[in-house]
């Protein structure tokens, strides 16, 4: 594990392998370790970097709100520090929102974008109200919020199948500060729609969706990928594709990386 200093706070990351840079961004309440099994597969072919986003894992808090722009600028600082001029960017859930923002702010720095269990759409009014309810619950007891939130990311039947993994993730997430959780919810609530990124023919986009995802609606996925130059893949289970459909996910990513690398040659 490595760390850099960004705006007087420590940002922690892993850096493995050589070749084209592949950056993995975790989701809300998670951390860089979520990519451990996936990174192990690809580190022999690519330079794989996983980082703890602001307020998550071992990376410290920047402020009361962590906007997607804040997160993207921190990522750009990391890439500049590592002298990485171009990368493939894979974002899970909130990590996808950050990846989209990065693509918007720094289009020349990205060769391919993968949104895994994520969306390019902004929060609607109902979703924003749910974020506010979540913030109120966190202020009351953030540990109870985490214990409820983590299992709800899995499909109904997988909550028992992956009970050990759920407990492990929950224990890791319980180390997060109340401030870090609220800052991300505030940031996600005010993020802009970036559906225009999906219409840019110059940027290869892969969208991976879980058929039983309890967080995202399948209809919105269909709307975003309809008649657009986006490669779409539907997996069988919930929001945590890296666990619920790990082998299928690795296969999909491997084929996508290979196609992008060939196009760059």
76 or 264, higher pLDDT:
76
Cα–Cα distance for residue pair 137/206, rounded to 1 Å: 34
Q: What is the structure's pLDDT at 201? A: 86
pLDDT digit string (tens) for 116-169?
A: 999 999 999 999 999 999 999 999 999 999 999 999 999 999 999 999 999 999
Contact predicate 261/20, CB 8 Å: yes
Q: What is the structure's pLDDT at 227? A: 65
pLDDT digit string (tens) for 12-23?
A: 999 999 999 999
Cα–Cα distance for residue pair 233/225, rounded to 1 Å: 10
Q: What is the structure's pLDDT at 264? A: 58
* Residue 261 pLDDT level (bands cut at 50, 70, 90): confident
Q: What is the structure's pLDDT at 204? A: 94
Indicate whether 56 pLDDT > 70: yes
* Residue 107 pLDDT level (bands cut at 50, 70, 90): very high
Q: What is the structure's pLDDT at 265? A: 54
Q: What is the structure's pLDDT at 1? A: 86
Give the dihedral sign, CA 151/48/99/8. Answer: positive
Report all structural domains of the chain as residue ranges with CATH numbers, in order of start: 2-264 (3.40.50.1820)
Phi-psi region of 16 (alpha: psi -120 to 50; beta: other; left: phi over 0): beta
Indicate whether 262 pLDDT > 80: no
Contact predicate 108/124, CB 8 Å: no
């Amino acid at each position: 594990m490595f760390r850099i200093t960004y705006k007087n706070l420590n940002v922690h990351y892993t850096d493995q392998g050589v070749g084209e840079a592949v950056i993995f961004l975790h989701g809300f309440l998670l951390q860089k370790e979520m990519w451990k099994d996936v990174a192990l597969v690809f580190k022999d072919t690519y330079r794989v970097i996983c980082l703890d986003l602001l307020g998550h894992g071992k990376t410290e808090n920047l402020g009361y709100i962590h906007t997607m722009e804040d997160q993207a600028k921190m990522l750009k600082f990391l890439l500049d520090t590592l002298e990485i001029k171009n990368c493939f960017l894979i974002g899970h859930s909130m990590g996808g929102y950050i990846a989209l923002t990065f693509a918007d702010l720094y289009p020349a720095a990205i060769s391919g974008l993968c949104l895994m269990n994520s969306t390019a759409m902004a929060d609607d009014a109902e979703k924003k109200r749910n974020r506010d309810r979540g913030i109120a619950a966190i202020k009351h007891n953030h540990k109870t919020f985490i214990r409820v939130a983590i299992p709800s990311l899995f499909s109904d039947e997988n909550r028992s199948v992956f009970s050990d993994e759920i407990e492990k993730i929950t224990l890791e997430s319980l180390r997060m500060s109340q401030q870090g959780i609220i800052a991300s919810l505030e940031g996600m609530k005010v993020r802009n729609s970036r559906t225009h990124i999906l219409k840019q023919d110059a940027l290869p986009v892969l969208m991976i969706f879980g058929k039983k995802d309890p967080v995202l609606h399948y209809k919105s996925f269909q709307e975003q990928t309809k008649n657009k130059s986006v490669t779409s893949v539907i997996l069988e289970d919930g929001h945590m594709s890296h666990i619920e459909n790990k082998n299928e996910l690795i296969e999909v990513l491997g084929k996508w990386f290979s196609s992008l690398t060939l196009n760059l040659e």
